[in-house]
């Protein structure tokens, strides 16, 4: 039933959203490593005044096993205020939670009891395949006229991957989004410049290229994704491919400028096969209307003894940073970069997006260093899915990447944890010594969403 006033968690602009009250709860996707027991949506207490601060205070299990919960989104968010499809009287109420392995999409209602999300609907993989021709749903975003999702490939496990649309009222899969995909075959993330009717998409690999782990021959042969694609968001048409070069393997997380009048954004590249660096690139619109990219951050590998390294890396005698996630504050000022294999979260001041300044670092985990948290001994895994509060003052992150790939970088088995970082508004950050959440043995956490929205959940139509 539509409400009388807009959902109070919808904000017209990113700057307005920065004034939102601090989050009290977080939702974190948790998967069962052996796939023998169901995955779960965990509910984390984020209120520092609470006696259960930093612990799991709720948990909703999925009805099946082997889903591998990964990324998820809200059913509706600030983009509902967009002027061309205005419908602000829906509620931010449901979490849309796909299993990247099973292709099942779960709808959880958090309204009645935010601590115990209630499963209200399951969209079976056959529905997604039949209506959209896609499989392995990955990223989801609440868009102006419905929910957009990216999928890694077709039900066969081959390409093409792409975008599907879902209705934000009944969660039916509406179909494949692309009218003309041009040369695009690989898919991963997507981002919008809503003020410019532009969508950017990135590339990982087809399900067959990733589901049994990273394939060294494909990686060294430059076969994983290394391009960005620019789309006309209204005509659903591919307009431009931008190749970063085949050595830049796996062009993953996209974070567009939060200000919708701007036409730039950042994308993280996992690894260069030439020198094992990780990099962040800036895409930006040029005067002639086409988009260009340029590398603005390069993070070097760290030398290591072969006996400290997993089989995949022994030959290189170094740990590459492995940039698996990035995030951008709502004022477009700070960019956060996860270096999953070296165990570092970096903060860059990107006030000048062409010249990021490295202003802060937090170390935890890492293949070689295993840096402990103040509340723990040495830990493994490293900063991975990173989420930022709307006011930009608190960061939360988890340490698992993707089951099949976890085992290759951390063969001893990642022990799951989630931590919190406090950010100095002027730059700089430090771990909250009181926040160290360990998942139970056999489970690992992935993406985090914050109650009421976070820095990557919403897109805005007004500057």
Partner 1 sequence: MSEPVWTWAALVGLGAFHGINPAMGWLFAVALGLQEKRAGAVFAALVPLGLGHALSVAFVVVALALLVPVVRPDILNIAAALLLVGLGIWRLTARHRARVGMRVGFGGLTWWSFLMATGHGAGAMLLPVLLRMKMGEAGHGAYHGGHFANADDLEMALLAVGVHTAAMLAVAGGVAFAVFRWVGVAFLRRGWINLDLVWACALILAGLGSVAARL
- Shortest distance (Å) from residue 233 CB to partner 1: 6
Question: What are the tokens at 243?
Answer: 């190749």
User: Is-contact 342 367, C-beta < 8 A?
Assistant: yes
Stretch that binds partner 1, among 83-91, 131-139, 247-255, 293-301 (CB under 8 A): 83-91
From 124, 167, 243, 424, residue interacting with partner 1 (rule: CB under 8 A): 167
Instruction: Classify residue 276 by burial, with Cβ atoms within 10 Å: 0-12, 13-18, 19+.
Output: buried
Q: Is 179 in the site for partner 1 (CB under 8 A)?
A: no
Secondary structure of the chain: what % helix, strand, coil (to 5)? 10, 40, 50
Q: Is 190 in the site for partner 1 (CB under 8 A)?
A: no
Q: Is 2 in the site for partner 1 (CB under 8 A)?
A: yes
Q: Is 146 in the site for partner 1 (CB under 8 A)?
A: yes
Residues 396-435 that bind partner 1 (CB under 8 A): none
Cα–Cα distance measured from residue 24 to residue 37, given in angstroms and rounded to the nearest whole number: 29
Q: Is 144 in the site for partner 1 (CB under 8 A)?
A: yes
From 46, 57, 142, 194, residue interacting with partner 1 (rule: CB under 8 A): 194
From 24, 37, 59, 87, residue interacting with partner 1 (rule: CB under 8 A): 87
Q: Is 171 in the site for partner 1 (CB under 8 A)?
A: no
Question: What are the tokens at 10?
Answer: 């919808």
Site string for partner 1, 338-377 (x = CB under 8 A): ----------------------------------------
Cα–Cα distance measured from residue 301 to residue 313, given in angstroms and rounded to the nearest whole number: 11
Q: Is 158 in the site for partner 1 (CB under 8 A)?
A: no
Cα–Cα distance measured from residue 80 to residue 11, given in angstroms and rounded to the nearest whole number: 9
From 52, 63, 85, 430, residue interacting with partner 1 (rule: CB under 8 A): 85
Q: Is the CB of 23 or the CB of 432 nearer to partner 1?
A: 23
In our burial notation (b when 16+ CB lie closer than 10 A, e otherwise), range 64-88 reads ebbbbbbbbbbbbbbbbbbeeeeeb
Question: What are the tokens at 429?
Answer: 């950050």
Q: Is 290 in the site for partner 1 (CB under 8 A)?
A: no
Binding-site size for partner 1 (CB under 8 A) equals 37
- Shortest distance (Å) from residue 104 CB to partner 1: 24
- Give every CB contact of residue 215 below 8 A, 6+ residues apart in sequence: 209
Question: What are the tokens at 304?
Answer: 């290591």
- Shortest distance (Å) from residue 286 CB to partner 1: 17
Question: What are the tokens at 248?
Answer: 């830049």
Give 294-349 as a DSSP string.
Answer: EEEEEE--EE--GGGS-HHHHTTTEE---EEEEEE-TTS-EEEEEETTTTEEEEEE
Cα–Cα distance measured from residue 235 to residue 180, given in angstroms and rounded to the nearest whole number: 9
Q: Is the CB of 126 or the CB of 463 nearer to partner 1?
A: 463
Q: Is 16 in the site for partner 1 (CB under 8 A)?
A: yes
Cα–Cα distance measured from residue 411 to residue 407, given in angstroms and rounded to the nearest whole number: 4
Q: Is the CB of 136 or the CB of 141 nearer to partner 1?
A: 141
From 3, 50, 156, 290, residue interacting with partner 1 (rule: CB under 8 A): 3
- Tell whether omega for the bond before 399 is within 30 degrees of 0, i.e. cis: no
Q: Which candidate, 405, 396, 443, places its Cα nearest to that of 40? A: 443
Residues 198-237 that bind partner 1 (CB under 8 A): 233-234
Q: Is 8 in the site for partner 1 (CB under 8 A)?
A: yes
Give residues in contact with partner 1 (CB under 8 A): 2-6, 8, 10-13, 16, 81-89, 144-146, 167-169, 194-197, 233-234, 260-261, 461-463
């Amino acid at each position: 039933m539509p409400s009388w006033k807009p959902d109070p968690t919808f904000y017209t602009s990113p700057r307005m959203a920065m004034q939102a009250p601090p989050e009290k709860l977080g939702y974190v996707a948790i998967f069962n490593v052996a796939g023998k027991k169901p995955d779960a949506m965990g509910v984390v207490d984020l209120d520092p005044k609470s006696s259960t601060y930093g612990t799991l205070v709720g948990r909703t299990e999925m009805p099946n096993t082997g889903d591998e919960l990964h990324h998820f989104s809200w059913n509706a968010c600030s983009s509902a205020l967009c002027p061309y499809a205005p419908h602000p009287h829906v509620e931010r109420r449901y979490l849309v939670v796909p299993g990247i392995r099973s292709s099942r999409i779960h709808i959880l209602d958090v309204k009645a009891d935010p601590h115990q999300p209630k499963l209200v609907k399951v969209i079976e993989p056959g529905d997604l395949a039949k209506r959209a021709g896609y499989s392995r749903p990955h990223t989801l975003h609440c868009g102006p006229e419905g929910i957009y999702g990216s999928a890694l490939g077709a039900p066969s496990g081959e390409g093409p991957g792409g975008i599907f649309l879902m209705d934000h009222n009944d969660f039916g899969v509406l179909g494949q989004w692309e009218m003309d995909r041009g040369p695009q075959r690989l898919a991963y993330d997507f981002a919008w410049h809503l003020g410019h009717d532009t969508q950017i998409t990135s590339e990982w690999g087809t399900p067959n290229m990733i589901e049994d782990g990273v394939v060294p021959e494909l990686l060294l042969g430059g076969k994983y994704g290394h391009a960005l694609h620019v789309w006309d968001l209204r005509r659903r048409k591919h307009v431009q491919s931008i190749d970063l070069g085949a050595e830049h393997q796996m062009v993953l997380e996209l974070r567009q400028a939060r200000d919708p009048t701007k036409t730039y954004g950042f994308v993280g590249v996992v690894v260069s096969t030439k020198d094992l660096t990780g990099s962040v690139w800036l895409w930006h619109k040029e005067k002639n209307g086409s988009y260009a990219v340029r590398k603005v951050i390069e993070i070097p590998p760290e030398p290591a003894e072969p006996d400290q390294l997993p089989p995949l890396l022994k030959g290189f005698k170094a740990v590459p940073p492995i940039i698996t996630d990035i995030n951008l504050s709502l004022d477009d000022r700070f960019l956060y970069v996860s270096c999953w294999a070296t165990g570092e979260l970096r903060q860059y001041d990107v006030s000048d997006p062409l010249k990021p300044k490295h202003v802060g670092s937090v170390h935890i985990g890492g293949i070689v260093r295993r840096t402990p948290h103040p509340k723990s001994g040495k830990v493994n895994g490293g900063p991975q899915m990173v989420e930022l509060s709307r006011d930009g003052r608190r960061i939360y992150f988890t340490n698992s990447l993707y089951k099949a790939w976890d085992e290759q970088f951390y063969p001893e088995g990642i022990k799951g944890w989630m931590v919190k970082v406090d950010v100095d508004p002027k730059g700089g950050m430090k771990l909250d010594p009181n926040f160290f959440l360990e998942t139970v043995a056999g489970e690992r956490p992935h993406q985090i969403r914050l109650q009421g929205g976070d820095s990557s959940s919403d897109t805005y139509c007004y500057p």
